[in-house]
Amino acid sequence: MKKKTFALRTKIALATLPLLLSSTFVGYRIYELSQTVDRRAARAVKMIETASDAELHMVQMSEALRGYLLDSTNKSEFERKKVADSEYVESAKNLAELVSDSKEISDLNNEMAKFDEEQLDRVENEVGGLISSGASNAVSFYLKTYMPLRAEQSARFQKLKGMVLKLSADTLSDIEQQKQKEGWIAIYFLIGSICCGLGFLALATGGSIKHISKEVELLTRSSTSLGSTCMTLGGASEVLSHSTKEQASAIQESVSALSEMASMIQQTAENAKRSLQSSVEVEERSHTGQEIMQRMTHSMGAIEQTNQSLQGIAQIIQTINVKAGVINDIVFKTQLLSFNASIEAARAGQYGKGFAVVAEEVGNLAQMSGNAAREIESLLTDSQKQVHSTLEAIKLRVSEGKVVSDESVRAFNEISSSIREVTTQIKNITDATSQQSVGIEQTEKALNQLDLMARKNADTAQTTLQSSETLKRLSGELMTASCSIMGAVSGSKKADALAQAGAAPVATSAHSPVGLHIVANDVSADDQDFKSAA
Amino acid sequence: MSETMALNRYLLFQVGNELYGTPLLDVREVAEYVEPKFMPNMASYFSGVINIRGSIVGVADLRKRFGQTTQVTRNTALLVCDTTQGPIAVVVDQVDSVITIQDTDLERSPPVMTAVPVEYLTGIAKVEGQLVTIVQLQKLLNEASMAKQSA
């Protein structure tokens, strides 16, 4: 619409400007004229009024004088006459001012005033004096002197009145004539300026009208597509509303799931705490076990020492064995001695009889000693054997025990280190769970915000839906408006055609997703504008 | 009585696992075993000579004589006997005891074939449920010394 030319409004304004100027001028002229007419008419009327007033005052004056004449006691009548006289003077002065531009009337007025002042006042005062003095000739004086003067003055008044009336009538007719003349001039001027303005307007807006038609057509199409877009938008916002609701419910579910998760994590944290306690206890116990194992190792060492003392016992047994051997030797030798003694006793014959018995006894004792020594020897041997076997067994067992205890200690150490590792891991788990809790709290917050946003979105979608409805209605109105504009600009035929043409794109655009998409974009922009406008 | 008593007294000794007995008066002395000094050209059952309190005594190994294995133990002893050749020590595995054996307990001619020639074998005695071979050690040694001489 806006090319390199002026805007239509400007053009129209430019076209209307001379019209406005001329009409203003004409209006001013008429106003001025009416003012003048009014003034003149008012002046004419005032003139008549003032003349009438003067006459009235004159009549009042004579009436008051007459009244005084009739009732001489009533001095106030004379006073009234005086007041009327002064009022007349006033009126005469006013009239003189009013009729200043008419010499004839002015002269007459002046004459009358002069007459009143010089003749009538004097006579009147004389009459007054006569009346107040109670002279009998007052009435006759009044009749003879005053009345003719009064009549003369009345005649003058009649003349003046006639003159004034004539002047007024002249003025009024003159005004009428002027009015007529001025009216015609104004009408001609107005017609001329209107014609001029219209021509100028037609010249100025000729291009624009075409433009407007085109634009209106475009506008119609736009409004049609706007309508279809509104429908699409409505559907879209409905879908959006629906999906937003779903989203909101999903978020709600997420929030609940999250809270469940949080409680689970809480449980995990508690479990981890308990595990930590348990692991600490286990560690303590493993420490105790280690200590016990160490004590056991010490005990093994003690057993080994015992073994050494057992070896000492074995040595002692060995020594005892040696000593037993000595005893055996002695026994052997004693036996041999006893045998020799027996032999000697037998040689001695009868004399050696007692000695033989002694020798035998000694032999027997030696035998017994020998038996005992042998028993001791065998016992010692057995003891030695047993001690040795015990020693061996203890050695074996101790070494086995040592190995086992070493292994146990190692195992306990490993358990301890494993438990420490487990403790660390549990601590890590605890840390992780606490971090998870924090994260979940934050996520929950975020989700709550999201929920809020979703609700807001739902509200917005609802609003958008309503807005699209409104927009649809507005586009319909726009369509109607553009049709009517077209009708106004280019006639009803073209408007109908336009309406039909406008209806067609609705059908086509409704079936064209691409067009729809493009239009939707445009509309969304429009929608934004609409929103911002709203 | 005492004579008979002296005659009935016997010295029991072991050679190998066998228990032997000899008349107590056949033995002059019982001595500890001493490793005999080797002499050349000795009889097979002679081991050598030893010194007992200054006198040289020959050592006969009855175990060899009786066909038993030779082994010196703690109980190995020497029975010194007076022979026609002089004192001879007999190596025995153990001197057991001095006992009295009644003639009734002595079987004079047992039906056995022993390593000891029968003429030196007095008999078999039963002592405390054991059978004891009674030999005449002096005679045997005389025979032995004679055999040595002859050898």
Dihedral of alpha carbons B32, B36, B37, B40, sign: positive
What are the distances in angstroms from CA B112 to CA A150, A235, B14, B133? 242, 144, 19, 11
How far apart, in whole angstroms, are the C-alpha atoms of residue B33 and residue B35?
7
Instruction: Output the pLDDT for position B11.
Output: 92
Contacts of A359 in chain B (CB under 8 A): 98
B94 touches chain A (CB under 8 A): no
For the residues A123-147, what does the mean pLDDT come to?
79
Query: Which of B30, B76, B78 to mutate: most A Cβ within 10 Å?
Result: B30
Other CB atoms within a 10 A radius of the CB of residue A281 amount to 11
| End-to-end Cα distance, chain B | 42
CA A53 to chain centroid = 82
Instruction: Tell whether the model's pLDDT for residue A197 goes beyond 70.
Output: yes
Strand B55-61 to strand B46-52: parallel, antiparallel, or no bridges (unpaired)? Answer: antiparallel
What does the DSSP assignment read for A475-518?
HHHHHHHHHHHHHHHH-HHHHHHHHHHHHHHHHHHHH-HHHHHH
What are the distances in angstroms from CA A399 to CA A79, A300, A303, A306, A407? 173, 9, 11, 14, 12
B128 touches chain A (CB under 8 A): no
B74 and A347 within 8 Å at the Cβ level: the answer is no
A336 and B31 within 8 Å at the Cβ level: the answer is yes
For the residues A447-474, what does the mean pLDDT come to?
83
Contact A121, A153 (CB under 8 A): no
Contacts of A343 in chain B (CB under 8 A): 11, 24-25, 27-30, 98
Instruction: Output the pLDDT for position B145.
Output: 57
Taking CA atoms, what residue in A is nearest to B28?
A343
The residue whose two tokens read 């003891």 is A383
Contacts of B52 in chain A (CB under 8 A): none
What does the DSSP assignment read for A9-64?
HHHHHHHHHHHHHHHHHHHHHHHHHHHHHHHHHHHHHHHHHHHHHHHHHHHHHHHH
Instruction: Output the pLDDT for position A533.
Output: 44
Instruction: Output the pLDDT for position B115.
Output: 60
Contacts of B89 in chain A (CB under 8 A): none
Contacts of A326 in chain B (CB under 8 A): none
Contact A226, A482 (CB under 8 A): no
Q: What is the pLDDT along chain B (151 residues), one digit of tens a residue?
A: 344 555 688 999 988 888 889 998 889 999 999 889 988 877 777 889 999 989 899 998 877 777 666 678 888 899 999 888 888 998 888 888 888 888 888 887 766 666 666 677 888 898 888 889 888 888 888 876 555 444 4
The radius of gyration of chain A's CA atoms, rounded to the nearest angstrom, is 78
ipTM over 0.95: no
B6 and A359 within 8 Å at the Cβ level: the answer is no
Taking CA atoms, what residue in A is nearest to B24?
A343
Dihedral of alpha carbons A73, A77, A81, A83, sign: positive
Contact B151, B131 (CB under 8 A): no
Instruction: Tell whether the model's pLDDT for residue A506 goes beyond 50.
Output: no
What is the distance in angstroms between the Cα of B111 and the nearest Cα belonging to chain A? 31
For the residues A268-290, what does the mean pLDDT come to?
86
Instruction: Tell whether the model's pLDDT for residue A527 goes beyond 50.
Output: no
B11 touches chain A (CB under 8 A): yes
Between chain A and chain B, how many beta carbons pairs sit less than 8 Å apart?
49
B75 and A332 within 8 Å at the Cβ level: the answer is yes
| Mean pLDDT, chain A, integer | 80
- What type of residue is A205? T
How far apart, in whole angstroms, are the C-alpha atoms of residue B80 and residue B22?
12
Higher pLDDT, A473 or B146: A473
3-state secondary structure of B76: coil
- Using left for φ > 0, alpha for ψ between -120 and 50, and beta otherwise, residue B48 falls in left
Contact A509, A227 (CB under 8 A): no
Question: Per residue in A319-373, pLDDT tens?
Answer: 888 888 888 888 888 888 988 998 888 888 888 888 888 888 888 888 888 888 8
Q: Crossing angle for the helix pair A513-533 and A353-490, nearest 10 degrees?
A: 90
Q: What is the 3-state secondary structure (H, E, C) of B111-131?
A: CCCCCCCHHHEEEEEEECCEE
Higher pLDDT, A134 or A444: A444
The one-character DSSP state at B80 is: E
- Using left for φ > 0, alpha for ψ between -120 and 50, and beta otherwise, residue B29 falls in beta
Instruction: Output the pLDDT for position B112.
Output: 64
Please report the beta strands in chain B, taking only residues with DSSP state E, as ranges in sequence order.
9-15, 18-23, 29-32, 46-52, 55-61, 77-83, 86-92, 94-100, 106-107, 121-127, 130-135
Q: Which two tokens stand for residue A207?
A: 């291009």
Half-sphere CA count of A252, side-chain side, radius 13 A: 8
Kindly report the CA angle at A120 between A114 and A124, in degrees rounded to 5? 150
How far apart, in whole angstroms, are the C-alpha atoms of residue B108 and residue B124?
7
Query: Which of A339, A361, A367, A368 to mutate: most B Cβ within 10 Å?
Result: A339
Strand B18-23 to strand B130-135: parallel, antiparallel, or no bridges (unpaired)? Answer: parallel
Nearest to A519 by CA among A185, A225, A120: A225
Question: Per residue in A21-52, pLDDT tens?
Answer: 877 887 887 888 888 888 888 888 888 888 88
Dihedral of alpha carbons A231, A237, A239, A241, sign: negative
Other CB atoms within a 10 A radius of the CB of residue A48 amount to 17
Most confident of A235-249, A453-467, A515-529, B83-97: B83-97
| End-to-end Cα distance, chain A | 26
Instruction: Output the pLDDT for position A499.
Output: 67
Contacts of A325 in chain B (CB under 8 A): 74
B74 and A340 within 8 Å at the Cβ level: the answer is no
Q: Which residues pair with B78 in a beta bridge?
A: B31, B91
Contact A5, A207 (CB under 8 A): yes
Other CB atoms within a 10 A radius of the CB of residue A420 amount to 13
Burial tier of A188 (Cβ tally within 10 Å: 0-12, 13-18, 19+): exposed
What are the distances in angstroms from CA A277 to CA A260, A266, A280, A412, B49? 25, 16, 5, 19, 94
Contacts of B6 in chain A (CB under 8 A): 346, 349
Instruction: Output the pLDDT for position B21.
Output: 92
What are the distances in angstroms from CA A350 to CA A48, A326, A355? 233, 36, 10
Least confident span in A282-286, A304-308, A489-493: A489-493
The residue whose two tokens read 């493009």 is A518
Helix then strand count (H, E) for chain A reads 9, 0
pTM for the complete prediction?
A: 0.43
What is the distance in angstroms between the Cα of A374 and the nearest Cα belonging to chain B? 12
Instruction: Output the pLDDT for position A485.
Output: 79
For the residues A228-252, what does the mean pLDDT come to?
81
